[in-house]
Amino acid sequence: MCFEGWITGAAVMAAAGLVEAVIGVDAERRSLEDVAQPLSAEAAGSYDRPERRPATSGETGRPA
């Protein structure tokens, strides 16, 4: 039973390697915003990073 799990895991990893070789993106030492446009970016126009303001007391820094 355990051997089949190892074989299945190896097959999945090999398939993932093939998929990455075909459709992978060169993203070494690049920020995520440079690789893909953020989902929250406006549809029209270019993406400008928003300025961060310092958190005040009571704010967690996470979106609501």
* pLDDT tens profile 25-52: 888 888 888 888 888 877 655 556 556 5
CA end-to-end span of the chain: 45
Task: Compute CA distances 53 → 27, 56, 58, whole Å.
Answer: 28, 9, 14
| CB 37, CB 49: distance < 8 Å | no
Mention every residue, 6+ apart, whose C-beta is less than 8 A from residue 37.
Answer: 47
Please state the pTM of the whole predicted model: 0.47
**Portion of the chain with pLDDT greater than 90, in percent:** 34
pLDDT at 23: 93
| 18: its two tokens | 């093939």
